Amino acid sequence: MTTDPNSSVQQARKELGARLRNLRKAAGLTGKELAAATGQHFTRISRIENGGQPPTELNIRAWCVTCGAEDELPDLLATAQSIESAYLEWSRQARAGRRRLGDLHSIATYQATTTFRIHEPLVMPGIFQTEAYIRQMLRFWYDFLDSPDDSDATVTMKAERTAVALTPAKRIVAVLGEQVLHTRRGSTAEHADQLRHLLALMRLPFVSVGIIPADTQRFAIATVGFWIFDQNAVALETPTAAIKVTRPQEIGRYVAMFERLRTEAIYGQEARHLITSVLANL
């Protein structure tokens, strides 16, 4: 997956346009005929099909009705929405501070989510992080993104968000790479506190943590972390963009990938033993 928001959006628009073109052709319509039936100029039809102009919701609805493809409407609307909202430039949003980056990681989204499925190969998931770990992470991002230091407000927001997620009404299912346990943020003592905090959270009945050992035979290929919020959306982060996936077919792919990753992880006493082994060697 490309991490350039602009090129990614353009490519996604072209793919959406190609799908709409196929619907038109399957209905036996020319571009001019579709334009006349939907009340548009035929050049607009061409621009949409070639990715030069994004279709509106009304465009897509009229297109599907005219082509007799109403069954395609929900997925096409979700795709169009995700194209325009998926890639949020961090460098622009960072001017408002770290606490406002990424709407999927807002308190409102956490309140609305029942089940969180989290895959992190390298970084401790945010809702498992201690305050010291959070501050170490923020220190890097403030410098890298040249954003204002709102660390105290961000730590407070993250604490509130974590309190929303870590309740018996929710379900947290996480799969971590073993490297998460070894990657140290801050001092050795702070790292030990983070691992002990993880062990404490693993005792909660609504929290499931699997760890994929570094030396296990691997089959699934997932090199970046991702969060699945119920069946509604997937969040990923790159160094320059927060990526939001809302297209149902894509969400399904992430769910399938997550289930494969779960089969490679160890759980329960075996997972806790791996963590305590790392602690013993600090």
pLDDT in tens, 5-26: 445 567 778 889 999 999 999 9
Q: Per-residue pLDDT averaged across 231-256, rounded?
A: 85
Percent of the chain with pLDDT over 70: 89
Does residue 145 carry a pLDDT above 70?
Answer: yes
Q: Are 210 and 266 in contact (CB under 8 A)?
A: yes
Please say whether the beta carbons of 93 and 99 come within 8 A.
no
Q: Is 282 exposed, middle or buried (0-12, 13-18, 19+ CB in 10 A)?
A: exposed
pTM exceeds 0.75: no
pLDDT in tens, 56-81: 899 999 999 999 999 999 888 888 87
Tell whether the model's pLDDT for residue 183 goes beyond 50.
Answer: yes
Q: What is the mean pLDDT of the chain?
A: 88
Check: CB of residue 2 under 8 Å from CB of residue 11.
yes
What local confidence, expressed as pLDDT, does residue 92 receive?
Answer: 56
Which CATH architecture does the domain made up of 87-280 adopt? 2-Layer Sandwich (3.30)
pLDDT band for position 272 (50/70/90)?
very high
Q: Directed axis angle between helix 73-85 and helix 5-26, to 10°?
A: 160
Residue pair 44/35 in contact (Cβ under 8 Å)? The answer is yes
Most confident range (mean pLDDT) of 40-54, 187-201, 237-251 is: 187-201
Domains 5-85 and 87-280 share a fold: no
**Range 5-85: architecture per CATH:** Orthogonal Bundle (1.10)
Q: DSSP character for 231?
A: T
Confidence label for 136 from pLDDT (cuts 50, 70 and 90): very high
- Measured on CA atoms in the order 195, 200, 206, 212, is the torsion positive or negative? positive
Instruction: Report the candidate in 102, 222, 83 with the shortest Cα–Cα distance to residue 154.
Output: 102
> Average pLDDT in the 49-60 region?
90
Overall average pLDDT of the 44-49 stretch? 92
The residues facing 242 across adjacent strands are 88, 237
Look up residue 96 and give its two tokens: 């408002």
Taking the domains of the chain in order of start, what are their residue ranges? 5-85, 87-280
- The pLDDT score that the predictor gives to residue 3 is 39
Following DSSP, what letter does each residue of 163-174 receive, concatenated?
Answer: HHHSSTTSEEEE
Residues 84, 78 contacting (CB under 8 angstroms): no
Neighbours of 273 (CB within 10 A): 10
pLDDT surpassing 50 at residue 4: no
Q: Is the pLDDT of residue 200 over 50?
A: yes
